[in-house]
Amino acid sequence: MKKILIIGNSAAGIACAEAIRKNDKEAKITIVSKENYPCYSRCLISYFLAGDIPEQKLIYRNEEFFKENNIELVLGQEIERIDIKKKQAVVVKDAESSEKGKLKFDYDGLVLANGASSKMPDLKGITKRGVFGFRTVDDAKSITELLPVTDTACVLGGGLIGLKAAYALKKRGLDVKVIVKSKQVLSQVLDYEAAEFFKNLLTEKGVDIVTGADVSEILGNGDVKAIKLDTGKVIACQIVVVGKGVSPNIKLIKETPINSREGILTDEYMQTSVSDIFACGDVAETYDIATGETTINALWPNAVEQGKVAGENICGKKSKYPGSLGMNSVEFFDLPVISLGITRPREGFEVMSKSDTKNNSYRKVVIKDNRLVGAILLGRIENSGVYLNLIHEKTDISSIKDLLLESNFSYPQTISLSNKGDNIYV
């Protein structure tokens, strides 16, 4: 019986386990997770923190799923070392403990789906009580416990994580201040003009956004009392949420032959440089369809697709992963936006945009060699799947370029461009 070990119990790991069980009814599948919760959707923790949904609504796959698929689930154990020669993954409970203090998992095939962790800055006071990342259920629960004694929260970072946390805390009735080092919010996914729509909207809703400033120190005696900006300004607060992105969990493979850069490098089969080890999800660095380079596009749909491909291939198939695409969709106070592919183009790209501040509408497309490589749709986001397909298919859009910014641009206008009409995302 083949032993397959999956490290990680989120989107990629679960999709991988499902694919394995579909292709191999007999394999022994073990999933190990450092968290103490069944698989849940990280995408929803801001809604949980806001009080919009109860904890049970976070669950993505319940205990019954693991029983039905004969999957051993080991929670609350963090794999800290992989022995490639012995084909073992080891949990070290105590570095100074004897051999009895270790848990070992043998494997014939290994899947690294251990995701990423909140990126915490090297900042004086960062370990004080009241400072949190914002990625796990435990983060949200710990923040919630302090809400009754909190009137002001400071969020460090104006990216998706930071603004989702700010939105949730504002809904909880707190005074919220967002500190953004760059000149705009959402700098990794939107251009300045689109970002201004959200900055203005959040400001109107009572969220104080401070751009062009950074935190130099978190103040307090044990508990958070205030933050100090690099401008010298001090802002009193009881909670600090760090929303400065995530770092892939590659420490696990540092002393192995597994190749990595920002993340664990994989080929088109999601295989690493070690033949019986695969990687998928937020820890995996894969081909980017828009840029043609390898990168980490840490998104739930990408993780699911990568996990499925890894699971099929660890069972002996030759399924190919076509590559990922940077894609973000978010909505704050009823204003939605979708960004696709390259939104911050370099020299040599053609950019077209159309803005309507009165109706909270903005569209931007990025073109390279008559191929759509990126888009931002704000306000009116219907038919975004058509733009996504044009990027995926690398379609020559020269004949319809002047139509791309129109609010009624839709699938029928693309039919003449390709004989792949059945593949259009609608």
Question: Hey, what domains does the chain have and what are their CATH numbers?
Answer: 3-117+246-314 (3.50.50.60), 120-242 (3.50.50.60), 334-423 (3.30.390.30)
Model confidence pLDDT, tens digit, residues 273-319 = 999 999 999 999 999 999 999 999 999 999 999 999 999 999 999 99
Query: Nearest 5°: phi and psi at 13?
Result: -65, -40
Has residue 333 got a pLDDT over 60? yes
Has residue 75 got a pLDDT over 80? yes
DSSP 3-state of 110: strand
Has residue 157 got a pLDDT over 70? yes
Beta strand residue intervals within 159-299, DSSP E:
175-180, 208-211, 215-219, 226-229, 234-236, 239-242, 246-248, 264-265, 277-279, 284-287, 294-295
Q: Tokens 């076509």 correspond to what residue?
A: 322
Q: Rounded to whole angstroms, how far apart are CA atoms 134 and 117? A: 9
Q: If residue 17 lies in a helix (H) or strand (E), which one and from where to where? A: helix 11-23
pLDDT at 420: 44
Binned at pLDDT 50, 70 and 90, residue 424 comes out as very low
Q: Rounded to whole angstroms, how far apart are CA atoms 272 and 155? A: 37
List CB contacts of 83: < 8 A, sequence separation 6 or more: 89, 90
Has residue 413 got a pLDDT over 80? no
Q: Are 227 and 128 in contact (CB under 8 A)?
A: no
* Mean pLDDT of the region 232-242: 98
Binned at pLDDT 50, 70 and 90, residue 408 comes out as confident
Has residue 346 got a pLDDT over 90? no
Q: How far is CA 211 from CA 158, 183, 302, in A?
A: 9, 5, 31
With DSSP H G I counted as helix, E B as strand and the rest as coil, what are the percentages for the chain, rounded to 5? 30, 30, 40
* Mean pLDDT of the region 145-159: 97
Stated pTM of the model: 0.91
* Mean pLDDT of the region 196-206: 95
Count of other CB atoms within 10 angstroms of residue 220: 18
Name residue 173's amino acid.
G
Q: Tokens 């009580």 correspond to what residue?
A: 129
Q: Rounded to whole angstroms, how far apart are CA atoms 154 and 235? A: 8
Q: If residue 385 lies in a helix (H) or strand (E), which one and from where to where? A: helix 384-393
pLDDT at 72: 97
Residue 386, CB-side half-sphere exposure with 13 Å CA sphere: 22
* Mean pLDDT of the region 369-398: 93
209 vs 344, which has greater pLDDT? Answer: 209
C-alpha R_g of the chain? 23
Average pLDDT value over all residues in the chain: 92
Vertex 136: Cα angle to 223 and 41 (nearest 5): 155
Q: Are 3 and 27 in contact (CB under 8 A)?
A: yes
Q: If residue 166 lies in a helix (H) or strand (E), which one and from where to where? A: helix 160-171
**Distant-in-sequence contacts of 395-398, Cβ < 8 A, 24+ apart:** 395/371, 396/370, 396/371, 397/367, 397/370, 397/371, 397/372, 398/370
